[in-house]
Amino acid sequence: MEDLIRCLKSRTKKDSKWRRKPYLSELPKPPVSARAAPQPPTSTQSQRPAGTREAAPQLTKVTPNDPTVLYPQGSRVLTMAFYTEDLPHLPDEVYCALALSTVALGDIVSIDASKALALPGVIAFYKAEDIPGINSFTPPDSFLYSANEEVLASGTVKYFNQPIGIVVAESRYLADKAAKLVEATYSNVKEPVIDVKKTVDDKDRTTQFENIEATETGSDVEKVVKGFNTVYGQYHYTMETLTTVVKPSDDGLAVYCSTQWMEGVQLMISRALKLQQNQVDVHTRRVGGGYGIKLSRSSQGAIAAALVVQKLNRPCRFIQSLTTNTKALGKRLPCCSDFEAGVSSTGVIQYVNYKVFEDNGYKTNEQFTLLGGGQFNNAYNRARWNYTSFDSITDTAKNTWARAPGTLEHVAMSEFIMEQIAYEMNLDPLDVRMANLDTQYSKDMKEMIDYVIIKSDYPKRRKAVNKFNTENRWKKRGLRFAFLRWTPIGGVNFYINLSVYRGDGSVVITHGAIEMGQGINTKAVQVAAYMLNIPIEKIIVKENNTVIAPNCSLSGGSIMNQNVIVGVQRACQQLLDRLKPVRDAMDNPTWEDLITKAYNDNVDLQAHGFTRTDEEYPFDIYGVTLAEVEVDILTGQSQILRIDLCEDVGQSVSPEVDIGQVEGAFMMGVGYWTCENLVYAPTGELLTDRSWNYHVPLARDIPQDWRVYFRKNSYSNDAVFGSKCIGEPPICMAVVVALAMREAITAARLDSGIPKTKWYPEDGPYTVERNYLLSSTNTADFKFN
């Protein structure tokens, strides 16, 4: 077969076994130079001697068709994944919850917790002044951070529902109930600014971050196209909420936290409570979804629970409710862009003056704009773009990392520019995109574009959509492309330890990265199994903690997968180098015999791998997506009929895991562009604070026909086994759904007498209500023929 992976058939298909059993013949191949190296066997029992390895491995061939490879924790007896909240309740355990402000801007005059403390079972209440050390949960001296953020407001409230106190009670329900009874008195209350668009002309609320000038300007200007686009926030709808369990230990505090950054939690607890860092041990087995909210926001609740333990000398459990999460915490950054582009008659950009404003919330801290700066032109001709980025401040919760922070907004804004040019010039959007490709990326992009055009049967479907829209008044379809060029930046510190047990040769891996559903433990086991030439059943990945993995970087940005792969490879190679003299003196020993002999010869059976912040793997990731949607003009309801998505993942180490990452990221993007709508009152209060009014994609929102392809013959580097970043690029391509929705709505507007060359602004997702209103249907059209 020519497909790199099988296609996801109709959502009504009942057989889901495709996830477990890929056809090995469909998996991607490395380039010829890599294929020349000997390939690993297709089973876990290799023909080469145990404890040896080969160059340029292709790990996709190692993966057996066995469910345990997706859950590589040894025995199939392990049937449950344990999370922080699953820890057994401890003797004398208490619960804590955050009390929130009821104004957006104002000075705190007093805080009254008497009503809360009057409830039977409520134990204590703490304010900012009860924190003995630094009142902050973010480290300004760490990479990508520049400021402190208060755990509890200390004098001035910066946004509506900012935490102002901690309530301690005998149960979670009681703590949450009592927190709502805490009252505060405020002075100098002001009306907040909550929309990023209102900051554009306010010099007190905008700070220029970066300016990149064009290196050339064309002269063939047929038309000047101007536009202003805005996108808003997105809540991190994780399976597991922010959770921390803290208990006293012999040395200080034992902290079990659902976090993407153990060292950040450890560091900020030690600073807030005036403890030495070695007195705080942070443990994280796995995280039930993060999307970025657990990089720094989890530290706030962890500090609250740790403060309670220090004050009461009792274990404390912090489980933050969904409503408190949505109200008190920041989200994906809203963003707006202002551009002016001079274009030729064929849509080729001659110049573009382009400004982007990122809404940081009430202060600038985490460096999102830095991450987005490299993506401002997407895959298009960088030489003709004058780009300026700004950090904006609004009176909302400090916004934080969300899957593809900075990059999603920049990719979307560049796609909007291409789309508007096509509409106003009455050109094919695909032709406009092709004409503006940067020569640096054009070869790779055109290869993938041609592939998707063929696999999707685009020319035939283009005619079919046009015909459908001509023949139907109340249902319209859209068929649109979106392009992607995504380049990771930076490196991370991870400590990877590999230990071999002399009794049976079983192996344990620990690493500083956080498993949050992206399959990093699976890939670590695959790499170790290949390098050591042993069955995956002999390898287990154990929990992370700050004793075995100190000073580790945060787990985010899609780069941690590659760094763990590098670290495991280095640890394995270190062990193999130690074992080589022992193996050479034996006659083709089994792994178990080799380990026993090495132990008896006093060989160190624990190896170490370390990755550095100055080691980068900046391989460009390319993507091409085609979406077909249908919109019911009378109701505004929509459905995704088909998605063809091709991504360059390099040589996938775990194709099944990576398919899951592509699908999950894309569907998170579908929610962002179609249904996840944050609504604020003029006071700054978030009104869509739960699943009843904040809607995420459900089963029927999944594309009815979904075809995911991995680019053929792509290979990055031996150091990362030919792989590329996978977790974040797909969400950037989900903008294609919004573009297809726009075409369907434009077709409806044409029937209402509005020319399709007229670009209409749309801020936020294409919800049912917005689709209906944007269609601009004339009441005179509501009649029977």
Can you list the alpha helix ranges (DSSP code H) found in 403-438?
407-425, 429-435
Rounded percentage of the chain residues whose pLDDT exceeds 90? 85
pTM for the full model? Answer: 0.91
Rounded distance, CA 84 to CA 256, Å? 6
If pLDDT is split at 50, 70 and 90, which confidence band does 521 have?
A: very high
If pLDDT is split at 50, 70 and 90, which confidence band does 579 have?
A: very high
**Residue 47 pLDDT:** 52
If pLDDT is split at 50, 70 and 90, which confidence band does 64 have?
A: very low
Two tokens, residue 621:
């990731």
If pLDDT is split at 50, 70 and 90, which confidence band does 59 have?
A: low
**Residue 48 pLDDT:** 58
Domains defined for the chain, CATH in brackets:
1-30+439-489+618-785 (3.30.365.10), 31-62+490-611 (3.30.365.10), 85-192+236-328 (3.90.1170.50)
Q: Which amino acid belongs to residue 192? A: P
According to DSSP, the residues that pair with 537 across neighbouring strands are none
Three-class HEC string of 42-67: CCCCCCCCCCCCCCCCCHHHCCCCCH
**Residue 49 pLDDT:** 65
**Residue 150 pLDDT:** 98
Rounded percentage of the chain residues whose pLDDT exceeds 70? 90
By CB neighbour count within 10 A (0-12 exposed, 13-18 middle, 19+ buried), where does 248 fall?
A: middle
Residue 80 reports pLDDT greater than 90: no
pLDDT in tens, 454-502: 999 999 999 999 999 999 999 999 999 999 999 998 889 999 999 999 9
pLDDT in tens, 121-140: 999 999 999 999 999 999 99
Q: What is the mean pLDDT of residues 66-82?
A: 50
Rounded distance, CA 762 to CA 739, Å? 11
For the packed helices 262-273 and 293-312, what is the interaxial angle rounded to 10 degrees? 40
Strand order in the sheet with 163-169: 122-126, 163-169, 94-100, 316-319, 243-248, 253-257, 280-284, 544-545
If pLDDT is split at 50, 70 and 90, which confidence band does 12 have?
A: very low
**Residue 370 pLDDT:** 87
DSSP string spanning 444-475? Answer: HHHHHHHHHHHHHTHHHHHHHHHHHHHH-SSE
- The average confidence (pLDDT) of the chain is 90
pLDDT in tens, 596-645: 999 999 999 999 999 999 998 889 999 999 999 999 999 999 999 999 99
Residue 266 reports pLDDT greater than 90: yes
Residue 55 reports pLDDT greater than 80: no
Would strands 183-190 and 122-126 be described as parallel, antiparallel, or unpaired?
A: unpaired
Rounded distance, CA 701 to CA 684, Å? 30
Q: Quick check: 503 and 546 in contact, CB under 8 A?
A: no
Residue 20 reports pLDDT greater than 60: no
Q: What is the mean pLDDT of residues 733-745?
A: 98
Among candidates 441, 455, 519, 575, which has minimal Cα distance to 723? 519
Q: What is the mean pLDDT of residues 273-293?
A: 97
Residue 66 reports pLDDT greater than 80: no
pLDDT in tens, 90-117: 999 999 999 999 999 999 999 999 999 9
Residue 602 makes CB contacts below 8 A (sequence gap 6+) with none
Q: How many residues does the chain have?
A: 785
**Residue 677 pLDDT:** 97
Which SS3 state, helix, strand or coil, does residue 496 take? strand
